[in-house]
Chains A and B, each alone.
Chain A
Amino acid sequence: DSGVTQTPKHLITATGQRVTLRCSPRSGDLSVYWYQQSLDQGLQFLIQYYNGEERAKGNILERFSAQQFPDLHSELNLSSLELGDSALYFCASSSEGLGTGELFFGEGSRLTVL
């Protein structure tokens, strides 16, 4: 158990819809990362937050947005969903600057868009 919790584990929805994925980081970790893993594109970095502020942005579509709340949990919002958005979405947390800087991953939220 990494200590990172993601909900929901599975989600099936239709094209054009909007979903919210939630992540609770490890206790004490200030940094949250979101990644998308699809079969043909490996692990794609979407966005990183640190203590409520956006720190880095990767290949995140304009239809997607995220935020980190004062209690440090984070949400990834995906809107106007397309078939190609079907993927496994991972959240990871890190203590940043302390220790080895490794990321601790949740088990992922599997999104299927029909």
Chain B
Amino acid sequence: GEDVEQSLFLSVREGDSSVINCTYTDSSSTYLYWYKQEPGAGLQLLTYIFSNMDMKQDQRLTVLLNKKDKHLSLRIADTQTGDSAIYFCAERGHNNDMRFGAGTRLTVKP
């Protein structure tokens, strides 16, 4: 498809793992990103992965990249209430354009 796709909502219990999935569009994308948007704020880069990598781990965050299926996922271990936010998947395409998904709203319940 033409759009970067993400599910719109995810709800988890505090302490559980969260997995947010994304399907991107450009098989030539060089970098793929996860951004976090907290209420009333702009987007902030959470993590990124270069297209020649399959996995990247950064503390509680694990990014998995499946280039064959153009699938990107973000796993947050031991999810906390402070992780409640909107998470955007983005790709830097071969035209150097930046495409964002619609965002997944993560709600963490105590």
Contact = CB atoms under 8 A, between A and B. Distances in A.
Contacts of A33: 98
A34 to B, nearest CB: 12
A102 B48 contact: yes
A113 to B, nearest CB: 19
Given A90-B42, A105-B42, A105-B44, A42 B101 contact: yes
B96 interface: yes
A41 B8 CA distance: 11
Could you tell me the dominant secondary structure of chain B's interface residues? strand
B101 A56 contact: no
Contacts of A25: none
Interface in A76-106: 90, 92, 94, 96-97, 100-106
B5 to A, nearest CB: 11
A48 B103 CA distance: 21
Nearest to A33: B98
B87 to A, nearest CB: 12
A43 B41 CA distance: 14
Contact of B43 (A55, A90, A96, A97): A90
28 contacts: A2-B42, A4-B42, A33-B98, A41-B102, A42-B100, A42-B101, A42-B103, A43-B88, A43-B102, A45-B97, A45-B100, A55-B96, A56-B95, A56-B97, A90-B42, A92-B43, A100-B48, A100-B50, A101-B30, A101-B92, A101-B96, A102-B31, A102-B33, A102-B45, A105-B35, A105-B43, A107-B41, A108-B42
